[in-house]
Copies of this chain bind each other. A is one copy, B any other.
């Protein structure tokens, strides 16, 4: 069923994509700007993929030698499918921008239609490719195998697929994030602040790079990001089910519960693709109706049907089982409620309707220093509720999972099936990825359309319309962000538990005790990694932005007539700076994320257990802290621009611009990479367990 749903999703994506490309791209002037963006984005992606190919070949060879050739092949397919989904999404997005801008001349509804369908092309590609690859590998290697022991061995190879997806995601997010923020910060610091020209002004040499950045960072990067977390969320419960089966907790292969436990994650995901397509039809807007509501309707319709579908799945299972698997629906609900509430907290801390952003705006009155202090403080404060919610979701999903199989399992088995509930909670949260990505990815298209409108000198009202489109996505995007954070945490924990269970399966006395000094040292080192990662990526943005600032200043100085629109700036030089910086700077953090866990695991697998626990905890904290602080600074600036505390041009506004600039790498480079980082490190550890076990048994 899963591959068929995936194929339906791919067909739908193809249909939507070709529909978008058939729309009128507008007059030549607009199309030319779009062409420059297309070229820049394509050139970057191609260079990025070239580097990734080298990297993937090296890792694949290591995997083939240290683990197994099949794992290596799975790794490569995971990487390729992720890159392909990102490429398709970006291909359509960079063409949808001018079409959206042109349509906005006519009506908002038409512009929304194009940009949203472009986003959904990407969303469906991401979900369908991931599900297709994963389900085919599972069909090939895991389903139909006779014993859990063999299943367990084979699922270890499928983990290669998830590792490939996560590795590509990390590079895409970090590279794209550095690209987009170097261009953005560079364009703002010289263009807006020093030269005093508006955003997206064609006189700014960095403006094309800035618009390219929106696509490679927010479209391709985000797509790869969700490809990996979606893959992880489906694979995590499957791995747990198989491993717990091998440990004897679930009964023999072929018993009702064992069969269901293995296939249920794929079923939930398959339903999610169909419900996302249904949700698409609910997004219709007439001129004058609220855009906001149209988008929400789509998301809510899809979510509503999906919840019913999940309930039905567990209900059927319940009918066939001697246990009460219907309780697992409770696990899924725990995850959904936590994700929803985290989204609401995100909105509270980042929206300019509430106190936190107002306080940052107020603190801007006494200058940039107090703005920064208040923003950092707000970001840190915003971690409290999400972390508590994740903790409650873990406990709740665990308790429900425990209830589901209360009457057959052994004591250790009780803990195991409880954790299976935790893993399923993440699957449920991400099952609607297709439409969620759609809502998320339409934002940058609208943003780009606004940029083209500005550069092509379209009437003011067009820009207003694209801006309204851009703004509207934010609420829905905030909720999607909540789900992303919560599910990353739950998936990482499930994978972490799978790691322990896998090691335990081969080395029975393998245990993770919190008072073991090696594990304590591991926790310390693991907790430090996200800080190191944030430092490297922020430093990268800082260096790249510095180079960009110098280049823009040079062009303003040396190219006569830019300011009078008489000479065209050398856009391509700025594009080249962003491209080269991003490619150079993304390598180190990405490689470290893969190498460090493997090195520690070879040294001592128990220490790696502590390492992962520490990394997941601080990774989540920094993800929430940095994303929310960045969002709050952004909106504090917009709030002041809306007229508060003196409005545009006031001292408070200048201070708020400083906060916004600091927030850029926070919310678009370092923050969003954290979830991928922790998932990548856990899945890498899990994939390399055969190597660690071999080393331990050799000693």
Find out whether the CB atom of B380 lies under 8 angstroms from the CB atom of A534. yes
Find out whether the CB atom of A369 lies under 8 angstroms from the CB atom of B189. yes
Find out whether the CB atom of A528 lies under 8 angstroms from the CB atom of B395. no
A297 in the interface (beta carbon within 8 A): no
Smallest beta-carbon distance A400→chain B, Å:
11
Roughly how many angstroms separate A525 CA and B613 CA in the complex, as a whole number?
A: 13
Roughly how many angstroms separate A387 CA and B418 CA in the complex, as a whole number?
A: 34
A527 in the interface (beta carbon within 8 A): yes
- CB contact between A527 and one of B366, B527, B546 (< 8 Å): that residue: B527
Roughly how many angstroms separate A522 CA and B189 CA in the complex, as a whole number?
A: 43
A625 in the interface (beta carbon within 8 A): yes
Complex contacts, A381 vs chain B, CB 8 Å: 532, 535-536, 539
Roughly how many angstroms separate A518 CA and B521 CA in the complex, as a whole number?
A: 21
Binds B, one of A268-276, A444-452, A509-517: A509-517
Query: Which residues of A78-121 have CB atoms within 8 Å of chain B's CB atoms?
Result: none
Find out whether the CB atom of B514 lies under 8 angstroms from the CB atom of A519. yes
Smallest beta-carbon distance A413→chain B, Å:
13
A538 in the interface (beta carbon within 8 A): yes
Known A384-B532, A546-B366; judge A512-B515 contact (CB<8 A): yes
> Most chain-B CB neighbours within 10 Å: which of A378, A415, A511, A515?
A515
A524 in the interface (beta carbon within 8 A): yes
Complex contacts, A489 vs chain B, CB 8 Å: 524
A528 nearest in chain B by CB position: B387
Known A391-B521, A514-B609, A527-B621; judge A377-B189 contact (CB<8 A): no
- CB contact between A621 and one of B369, B517, B531 (< 8 Å): that residue: B531
Interface residues on A, range: 35 or more
A614 nearest in chain B by CB position: B617
- CB contact between A513 and one of B185, B383, B513, B545 (< 8 Å): that residue: B513
A14 in the interface (beta carbon within 8 A): no
Query: Which residues of A630-677 have CB atoms within 8 Å of chain B's CB atoms?
Result: 657-658, 661-662, 665
> Most chain-B CB neighbours within 10 Å: which of A489, A657, A662, A665?
A662
Smallest beta-carbon distance A626→chain B, Å:
10
Smallest beta-carbon distance A542→chain B, Å:
5
Roughly how many angstroms separate A531 CA and B625 CA in the complex, as a whole number?
A: 9
Known A366-B549, A372-B658; judge A497-B515 contact (CB<8 A): yes
A72 in the interface (beta carbon within 8 A): no
Query: Which residues of A330-369 have CB atoms within 8 Å of chain B's CB atoms?
Result: 363, 366-369
Roughly how many angstroms separate A525 CA and B661 CA in the complex, as a whole number?
A: 30
A370 in the interface (beta carbon within 8 A): yes
A397 nearest in chain B by CB position: B517
Roughly how many angstroms separate A541 CA and B621 CA in the complex, as a whole number?
A: 22
Roughly how many angstroms separate A419 CA and B514 CA in the complex, as a whole number?
A: 13
A591 in the interface (beta carbon within 8 A): no
- CB contact between A516 and one of B378, B415, B531, B614 (< 8 Å): that residue: B415
A–B pairs, 11, beta carbons within 8 Å: A367-B658, A370-B546, A370-B661, A377-B539, A377-B542, A381-B539, A391-B524, A394-B517, A394-B520, A513-B513, A514-B609
What are the nearest 10 A-B pairs in CB distance?
A: A369-B661, A380-B535, A512-B514, A391-B521, A381-B535, A527-B617, A377-B538, A387-B528, A398-B517, A377-B539
